[in-house]
Amino acid sequence: MSTLLPKPSILILQTPLHTHRSAITSLTPFNSTRQRSKRLPSLIVNARAPSQTKEEGSSLPSMLTDLKNDKPTQTNHSLVDSWREIHGSTDWARMLDPIDPLLRSELIRYGEMVQACYDSFDFDPCSKHCGSSKYSRRHFFEELGMSGCGYEVTRYLYATSNLDMPNFFKKSRWEKVWSKSANWMGYIAVSDDETSARLGRRDVVVVWRGTVTGLEWVADLMDFLKPVTSEGIPCPDPDVKIESGFLDLYGEKDATCRFSKYSAREQVLTEVKRLVELYAKEGGEEVSISIMGHSLGSALAMVSAYDIAETGVRGDCPVCVFSFAGPRVGNWKFKERFEKDLGLKALRVVNMHDKVPQVPGMIFNERVPQAVRRFVDGLPWSYSHVGVELELDHKKSPFLKETGDVSCYHNMEAHLHLLDGYHGKGERFVLASSRDPALVNKSADFLKDDYLVPPNWRQDENKGMIRDDEGRWTQPERPKPDDHPPHTNYHLQQLGLDSN
């Protein structure tokens, strides 16, 4: 099924895929200083703010020099050799400070798959497709200019919006809409043969969309823990609990809705089960399960990763969560079950100034001393982060301006930019790739004005309106989304979840 191809230049792997960049461009090797010095001036020219030199103790020209001799980005190992460590097998020991350049580019690569959810999601309440993906499953990466990522989307994920999360779900203002009670929540994809060869294994990714920038959804959380068993997750310990809002979003469904007649849980379990059986069990391949999400999507990534392990759907495959700006998800018992009992791995990328990773559980959380823990652990509002944290600091980037807009601190593109410039705690901020800082302002107003990049610049021409044959302006129809795969029921039955 997958014939391992000759090992390619590792430098290909070091270049994160640039959203909207064609496969060819995005995979251009990036080791030649010629190319760099050709590229960077466009940043230097823009970097006129005299303040920068003072602020950062280094002007951009000097950053250019640093970049040329940027040893850390020259790495002597490839994913084929080291994907297990990057996937957390050693809990990223000695890989974060200084950061392993291959880990950094992999984090950006996975992060761009998360950003893809925002770039494809229709947020516009005045669109009759509001709440759906703008692009069809089969052309998802292609439409986003990410064909080069080498993954195929095998399933879209939906959740019912019949939940008390007014600030999370997007609903159209029109009457005639694609669905009244479902929202597109992300996708499941699998690496193709060529990419699998480069990655050193077949990679199954589960990607959850979150909220673009707004933080209002946090107010929707009831800050109340529920046993995972209440959602039918077969956990031996009834004290393993998860924030009820996340659990509802993951487990609820709407029998009357074509898209959410299966819960997000049922959708993700059945598809991952199918892919693991197809590639690992039948194909005999090495398979990894990588689960990503930003913001609220990060919570769903944690819950689904845990569920995939608890239900045994993962088989023998390693499961790793790459979380961006994620809130806390469960209690201390959840953390223990997640890490110790199930051996799940999670790397949480956060911006130290972002408040979202500090909720829920501002008061009682993983920082509570062991001695006190047993007293507070019974409390319904005692939360604990899981996995390993990689803390970034947006104040270190000379590209970003001072702003009181906290949604900028939380922004996904901002995290990708911060990763690109991160070399280790105390290290100076130096871009490691040619990733365009202008992307930060796609849906934010975070870049310094000197760069002449308009805020919130990502928008469709004429809000997607097109002119029909008779010259009339209309909202075009979109390809009808797939029905749930026919094998969904079969796998549900096998999982003993056949409630339809």
Q: Residue 460 interacts with a copy of itself (CB under 8 A)?
A: yes
Select the span of 169-177, 206-214, 237-245, 385-393 touching a copy of itself (CB under 8 A): 169-177
Select the span of 105-113, 230-238, 328-336, 455-463 touching a copy of itself (CB under 8 A): 455-463
Q: Which residues contact 226 (CB under 8 A, 6 or more apart)?
A: 241, 242, 243, 244, 247
Q: Is 412 left (phi over 0), alpha (psi -120 to 50) or beta?
A: alpha
Q: Residue 139 interacts with a copy of itself (CB under 8 A)?
A: no
Q: Which residues contact 22 (CB under 8 A, 6 or more apart)?
A: 145, 147, 148
Q: Quick one: 231 or 413, whose CB is closer to a copy of itself?
A: 413
Q: Residue 401 interacts with a copy of itself (CB under 8 A)?
A: no
Shortest distance, CB of residue 449 to a copy of itself, whole angstroms? 6
Mapping DSSP to helix (H, G, I), strand (E, B) and coil, where does residue 386 land? coil
Q: Is 482 a catalytic residue?
A: no
Q: Quick one: 145 or 327, whose CB is closer to a copy of itself?
A: 145
Q: Quick one: 243 or 445, whose CB is closer to a copy of itself?
A: 445
Q: Looking at 336-455, which runs of residues are DSSP E strands? A: 345-351, 388-392
Own/partner contacts of 401-408, CB < 8 Å, gap of 24 or more, are 401/446, 401/447, 401/448, 401/449, 403/445, 403/446, 405/444, 405/445, 405/446, 406/215, 406/353, 406/354, 406/355, 407/213, 407/214, 407/215, 407/444, 408/213, 408/444, 408/445, 408/446
Q: Which of 138, 465, 487, 500 binds a copy of itself (CB under 8 A)?
A: 465
In 169-234, which residue ranges form alpha helices assigned H by DSSP? 193-199, 217-220
Q: Is 354 a catalytic residue?
A: yes
Mapping DSSP to helix (H, G, I), strand (E, B) and coil, where does residue 104 land? helix
Alpha carbon of residue 255 to chain centroid: 28
Q: Choosing from 354, 420, 436, 445, which is the catalytic residue?
A: 354
Q: Is 196 a catalytic residue?
A: no
Q: Which of 6, 175, 369, 370 binds a copy of itself (CB under 8 A)?
A: 175
Shortest distance, CB of residue 45 to a copy of itself, whole angstroms? 10
Is 431 within 8 Å of 400 (Cβ atoms)? no
Q: Residue 405 interacts with a copy of itself (CB under 8 A)?
A: no
Strand (E) or helix (H) holding 86:
helix 79-86
Q: Token digits for 386?
A: 């899981």
Q: Which of residues 415-434 bind a copy of itself (CB under 8 A)?
A: 434
Q: Residue 470 interacts with a copy of itself (CB under 8 A)?
A: yes
Q: Token digits for 469?
A: 């044959």
Q: Looking at 303-358, which runs of residues are DSSP E strands? A: 319-324, 345-351
Select the span of 103-111, 236-244, 271-279, 447-455 touching a copy of itself (CB under 8 A): 447-455
Q: Dihedrals φ, ψ of 287, to 5°? A: -130, 135
Select the span of 312-320, 364-372, 415-423, 448-456 touching a copy of itself (CB under 8 A): 448-456
Work out the end-to-end distance of the chain between its first and last CA atoms, rounded to an integer number of angstroms.
34
Q: Residue 373 interacts with a copy of itself (CB under 8 A)?
A: no
Q: Quick one: 68 or 281, whose CB is closer to a copy of itself?
A: 68
Strand (E) or helix (H) holding 417:
helix 412-421
Shortest distance, CB of residue 429 to a copy of itself, whole angstroms? 19
Select the span of 63-71, 326-334, 374-382, 452-460 touching a copy of itself (CB under 8 A): 452-460
Q: Which of residues 176-195 bind a copy of itself (CB under 8 A)?
A: 176
Q: Residue 475 interacts with a copy of itself (CB under 8 A)?
A: yes
Shortest distance, CB of residue 404 to a copy of itself, whole angstroms? 17
At CA 93, angle to CA 87 and CA 99, rounded to 5?
Answer: 80
Please identify every residue annotated as catalytic. Answer: 295, 354, 410
Q: Could you list the residues that contact a copy of itself (CB under 8 A)?
A: 18, 20-21, 25, 38-39, 42, 48, 124, 126-128, 173-176, 434, 436, 438-439, 449-450, 452-455, 457-463, 465, 467-468, 470-475
